[in-house]
Amino acid sequence: MAVNRDKKEPVIEVQDICKTYFMPGGMSQSVLKHVSFDVMPGEFVAIMGHSGSGKSTLMNILGCLDRPTSGVYKLAGKSVSDKTDAELAEIRGREIGFVFQNFNLLMKRTIADNVSLPLIYQGVSEAERHERAVQMLHKVQLNGYEDRLPTQISGGMQQRVAIARALINNPKIIFADEPTGNLDSKTSDEIMDLFTALNKQGITIVLVTHEDDVADYAERMIKIGDGRKVYDGLRAEYQKDEE
């Protein structure tokens, strides 16, 4: 039987997603409104939008940290909407790496311990955890730093540790929410070069940023305005005065 090996399935399918936050006292806020898009394997997508537009809310749904109020979200072809919290945690551990603005490192643990932390939940032995941490630190050019503490290295290096931690399970996708938000522009460029290299190796990257220079590294841009998708196309074709 002939198989068309070029035919790829989307790795992310967002279908008419809405998210409403319900506050105590009966108040509610509609934050995402009928958002739909697909992401194909190997894409590099920047999600942009003003502060408060719903970017982190969308990322939390994409990363299975939160659920939509309505609509369907499929990751790797499977609907995550009706999965249990335990199943979502399992999907997160297997398919996804996260990078955050504030690095989210354990400050009293060594860099190797921080990188190998996700493996603890899989019952990987201490010796193997250390070996894999050393391999990942090599990928982010931090070989030799495994026994230091996060407080002993720069912010850019801390973010590279966080990226090494995100890579430890060989994820298909990396979600990064404002990963350069706490870094100077030269260090931001180094981090973005690292994401570009990982993307060239086949990892799908979805990154939230409000900085134009950072978004320029992505091929595709999705812009969120007041909870709605207001642009979805090539970053290079985006006209900053449209909207």
Ligand X SMILES: Nc1ncnc2c1ncn2[C@@H]1O[C@H](COP(=O)(O)OP(=O)(O)O)[C@@H](O)[C@H]1O
Q: Which CB sits closer to ligand X, 49 or 179?
A: 49
For residue 31, state whether it binds ligand X (rule: CB under 6 A).
yes
Q: How far is the CB of 52 from ligand X (least distance, A)?
A: 4
One of 14, 48, 49, 130 touching ligand X (CB under 6 A)? 49
Choose among ligand X, Mg ion, none what residue 31 binds, the Cβ cut-off being 5 to 8 Å by kind: ligand X
In this structure, what DSSP letter does residue 235 have? G
Please report how close the Cβ of residue 181 comes to ligand X at its closest, in angstroms.
11
Tell me how far CA of residue 204 lies from CA of 5, 21, 24, 94, 213, in angstroms. 19, 29, 38, 14, 20
Q: Which two tokens stand for residue 237?
A: 């074709």
Nearer to ligand X by C-beta: 4 or 51? Answer: 51
* Interaction partner, residue 159 (ligand X, Mg ion, none; CB < 5-8 Å by kind): none
Stretch that binds ligand X, among 53-61, 72-80, 136-144, 185-193 (CB under 6 A): 53-61
Query: In which residue are the tokens 């979502």 written?
Result: 88
Q: Does 56 bind ligand X (CB under 6 A)?
A: yes
Distance CA 161, CA 163 (A): 5
Spatial neighbors of 57 by CB under 8 A, at least 6 apart, are: 19, 31, 32, 66
C-alpha span between 109 and 111 (Å, rounded): 7
User: Among 12, 45, 46, 54, which residue sits at the site for ligand X (rule: CB under 6 A)?
Assistant: 54
Residue nearest to Mg ion (CB): 56
Q: How many CA atoms lie within 13 A of 19 on its CB side?
A: 24
CB of 18 to ligand X, least distance (A): 13
Say which residue the tokens 């394997």 belong to. Answer: 41
- Among positions 4, 51, 125, 201, the unique one binding ligand X when judged by CB under 6 A: 51
| Cβ-based neighbour number of residue 165 at 10 Å | 27
- Contacting residues toward ligand X, per CB under 6 A: 21, 29, 31, 49, 51-57
